[in-house]
C-alpha cells in the first residue's frame, strides 16, 4: 500500500532537513564527544538517522490525518493551529525517547547530557515549526499551480463555448429559417408575426449579450429556451412538442450560460420530426438531486456537420467538469434520451 504524503515535495523536504537536523541533535545530546573520531561520527549519525526517520514518519502520518480532515487551502491556518501544539507535545516524548535509548544502548561510549534535554526539545520544536511551514508552502504551491492550470482550462473552454455560440448566431441556415418563417407569418397572421419577431429578438439579445459570467440563473436559461422553442415550433409546427415544467423555487439556481442552446440545438438538428412522429422534448427537474432533466424521443438523422452540435455538447460537458460540478449524465433507453445537468446553488459566485 502506498504511503500517503502531505505534499508531493515532502520527501525532498525530508532529505534537505534530516541531515543537518540529526547532526545538530547529536551535538546537543552528546556534545563534542559524538564527533571525536570518524567511527563515532558514523555510528552516532546512523543510529540517530534511523531513530528520527521513524519519528518523522509518525509526524508525517499525523500531519496527513489533519490535512485529510481539513483539506481546503482556506484551512491553512487552522491546520497549523492544530499541528504545531501536537508536534510540540510529540517532540517532548520523541527527545525523551532518544535520550533513553542512547543511555540504554551505550554503544557510542558517549554519555548523554541530561541538562541539555529542554534545549534539545526547543530545537526539535523549532525544526518542527520550520518543516510544517515548508510542507504547507509546498502543498499550497502545488494547489495554486493546479488551480491556475484549471482556471486557464476553464477560461479556454469558456471562450471556445462563446465562439461556438457565435457560430450558431450567425449561421446562415439559422437566420434564413427565422426570416423565412417570419416572412410567411407576415402574410398569414400579423399578430403571430409580431410575436415571432419579439421571440426572435429575445433569442438574439440573449445570444449577443456581453456575458462574462461563468454562471447564470436558471430563470434566464428557461426564458431563452422558451423563446428559442417558439421560433422552432413556428417553423416545424406540431412536429415539435415541448413540455417545460420547472418549479419557480428553483429559478435562482445556476448553470453555465447557453447550456440549453447547446442541448436544444443538438436535439433538433440530430433528430428528424414530422406530424406523424413528432419530436417530444420535456424540460423538467429532479428535485431530489438538484438536476435539470432534458428528455426527448430519439428520431435520429444524419446531422448537419457545420453546426458543430457534437462539438458543442462535448465542450459543455467539459465546462461542467472544469467548474467542479458532478458529471453531466446522458442516459439512453428504448427510443428516448435523457440529458441531466447538475445545478449550482444560487449563492455560488465564480470570479
pLDDT digits (tens, 9 = 90+) for 190-202: 787 788 888 888 8
C-alpha–C-alpha distance, residues 64 and 66, integer Å: 5
Q: Looking at residue 166, what is its pLDDT?
A: 44
Contact by Cβ (8 Å): 310, 266: yes
Contact by Cβ (8 Å): 265, 312: yes
Q: Of the ranges 184-198, 239-253, 295-309, 314-328, which is most confident?
A: 239-253
> Which segments of the chain belong to CATH 3.30.565?
171-342
Q: Compute the mean pLDDT over every residue in the chain, rounded to the nearest whole number.
A: 80
Q: Residue 170 pLDDT more than 50?
A: no
Least confident of 9-23, 141-155, 249-263: 141-155
Burial class from Cβ neighbours inside 10 Å (0-12, 13-18, 19+) for residue 117 reads middle
**Across-strand partners of 284?**
293
Q: Looking at residue 337, what is its pLDDT?
A: 92
At 2, the pLDDT band (50, 70, 90 cuts) reads very low
SS3 295: strand
Q: Residue 152 pLDDT more than 80?
A: no
Contact by Cβ (8 Å): 178, 230: no
DSSP 8-state code for residue 252 = T
* CA separation, residue 6 to residues 144, 209, 218, 276 (Å): 15, 46, 40, 63
Q: Looking at residue 342, what is its pLDDT?
A: 94
C-alpha–C-alpha distance, residues 205 and 33, integer Å: 84
Least confident of 114-128, 247-261, 301-315: 301-315
Q: Give domain 171-342's CATH architecture.
A: 2-Layer Sandwich (3.30)
* CA separation, residue 84 to residues 75, 131, 172 (Å): 14, 10, 66
Q: Looking at residue 297, what is its pLDDT?
A: 92
Q: Looking at residue 121, what is its pLDDT?
A: 92
Contact by Cβ (8 Å): 67, 132: no
Q: Looking at residue 246, what is its pLDDT?
A: 92
Q: What is the mean pLDDT of residues 280-303?
A: 87
- Strands of 291-297's sheet in order across: 240-244, 279-286, 291-297, 336-342, 329-333
C-alpha–C-alpha distance, residues 279 and 265, integer Å: 13
User: In the structure grid, which three cell numbers stand for residue 243, read together?
Assistant: 413540455
With a pLDDT cut of 90, the percent of the chain lying above it is 20
Return phi, psi of residue 247, to 5°: -55, 145
- Count of C-beta atoms within a 10 Å radius of residue 220: 17
Q: Nearest-CA neighbor of 204 among 261, 256, 284, 152?
A: 261
* pTM for this predicted structure: 0.52
C-alpha–C-alpha distance, residues 6 and 25, integer Å: 24
Q: Looking at residue 210, what is its pLDDT?
A: 47
Amino acid at each position: 500500500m502506498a504511503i500517503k504524503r502531505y505534499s508531493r515535495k515532502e520527501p525532498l523536504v525530508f532529505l534537505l532537513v534530516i541531515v543537518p537536523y540529526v547532526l545538530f541533535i547529536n551535538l546537543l545530546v552528546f556534545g563534542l564527544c559524538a564527533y571525536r573520531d570518524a567511527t563515532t561520527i558514523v555510528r552516532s549519525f546512523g543510529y540517530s538517522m534511523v531513530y528520527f526517520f521513524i519519528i518523522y514518519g509518525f509526524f508525517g502520518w499525523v500531519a496527513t490525518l489533519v490535512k485529510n480532515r481539513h483539506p481546503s487551502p482556506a484551512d491553512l491556518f487552522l491546520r497549523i493551529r492544530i499541528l504545531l501544539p501536537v508536534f510540540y507535545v510529540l517532540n517532548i516524548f520523541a527527545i525523551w525517547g532518544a535520550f533513553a535509548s542512547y543511555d540504554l544502548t551505550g554503544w557510542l561510549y558517549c554519555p548523554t547530557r541530561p541538562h541539555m534535554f529542554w534545549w534539545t526539545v526547543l530545537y526539535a520544536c523549532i525544526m518542527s515549526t520550520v518543516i510544517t511551514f515548508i510542507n504547507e508552502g509546498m502543498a499550497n504551491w502545488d494547489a495554486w499551480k493546479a488551480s491556475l492550470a484549471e482556471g486557464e482550462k476553464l477560461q479556454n473552454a469558456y471562450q471556445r463555448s462563446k465562439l461556438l455560440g457565435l457560430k450558431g448566431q450567425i449561421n446562415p441556415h439559422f437566420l434564413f429559417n427565422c426570416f423565412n418563417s417570419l416572412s410567411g407569418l407576415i402574410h398569414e397572421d400579423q399578430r403571430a408575426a409580431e410575436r415571432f419577431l419579439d421571440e426572435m429578438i429575445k433569442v438574439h439579445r440573449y445570444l449577443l449579450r456581453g456575458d462574462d459570467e461563468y454562471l447564470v440563473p436558471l430563470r434566464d436559461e428557461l426564458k431563452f429556451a422558451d423563446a428559442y422553442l417558439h421560433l422552432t415550433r413556428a417553423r416545424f409546427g406540431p412536429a415539435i412538442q415541448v413540455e417545460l415544467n420547472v418549479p419557480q423555487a428553483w429559478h435562482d439556481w445556476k448553470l453555465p450560460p447557453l447550456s440549453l442552446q447547446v442541448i436544444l440545438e443538438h436535439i433538433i438538428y440530430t433528430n428528424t420530426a414530422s406530424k406523424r412522429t413528432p419530436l417530444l422534448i420535456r424540460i423538467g427537474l429532479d428535485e431530489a438531486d438538484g438536476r435539470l432533466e432534458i428528455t426527448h424521443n430519439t428520431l435520429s438523422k444524419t446531422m448537419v456537420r457545420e453546426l458543430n452540435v457534437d462539438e458543442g455538447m462535448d465542450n459543455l460537458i467539459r465546462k461542467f467538469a472544469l467548474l467542479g460540478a458532478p458529471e453531466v449524465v446522458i442516459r439512453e433507453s428504448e427510443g428516448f434520451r435523457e440529458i441531466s445537468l447538475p445545478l449550482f446553488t444560487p449563492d455560488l459566485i465564480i470570479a
